[in-house]
Structure formats: C-alpha cells, structure tokens
Amino acid sequence: MKAMIGYCGLDCAQCDAYLATIHDDQALREKTAKAWAEANQAPILPEHINCEGCRVDGVKTVYCEHLCEVRQCARKRGAATCGDCPDLEQCQMVGEIFAQNPDARDHLRG
C-alpha cells in the first residue's frame, strides 16, 4: 500500500494541505484555509495548512494530528490502516468517509 494512503483510505497525496506543504504554495494554503474554515465553521488559518501525510513522520494539520478519531483509533489498535482492522465493515467512523469517498475503501483493500 502506498505510504500516502491515510489510515482511513483517503489519498493524502491528493489533499490540498499536503500539496500546499510539499510545493510551499501559499496561495493554495490560503484557498484551503478559507474553504476548510467555511466548511467546518472553525477558525482555520493559512498557517494551519501544513501536512506531510497522516501515516508518515512530519508535520500534520491540527485536525489530522489531534482530532481525527479514525487516526487515533488505528494508532491505538496498532493498525497500519483501517484495512487491517477486523471491525472495518462495521465501523461507523470510517463508514462516513467511505460514504463520501468510495475510493477510500478500495485504497484500503488495494
């Protein structure tokens, strides 16, 4: 499995926070911060948009590092990804992600 597939199966390499970080793209940081702040009704600033992927060493967004329940659960269980979890098909947390992004399930099975 690619290192840039997140615990939940989302492709971190397609995330705007990751792209802004690896390309040091301030305009993308600003655009992403604005979109995420509106979508989450939270004070997200451009300086918060720095992430190198949720399963690799390096900087992460505040959400990915501290708030993502899927990431916390997988790490607590010692799973490389949710694809390694025997409860995957019954999991409501990751199920919400699959409902929005069906490719995430395929990434975990891939």
Predicted TM-score (pTM) of this structure: 0.87
For residues 58 and 54, give the distance between their C-alpha atoms in angstroms, rounded to a whole number. Answer: 9
Per-residue pLDDT of the chain (110 residues; tens, 9 = 90+): 577 999 999 999 999 999 999 999 999 999 999 999 999 899 999 999 999 999 999 999 988 999 899 999 999 999 999 999 999 999 999 999 999 999 999 999 87
CA atoms within 13 A of residue 51's CA, in its CB half-sphere: 28
Distances (CA, A) of 67 to 63, 94, 107: 5, 14, 22
Helix (H, G, I), strand (E, B) or coil at 24: coil
- Residue 102 gets the label, from left (phi > 0), alpha (psi -120 to 50) or beta, of alpha
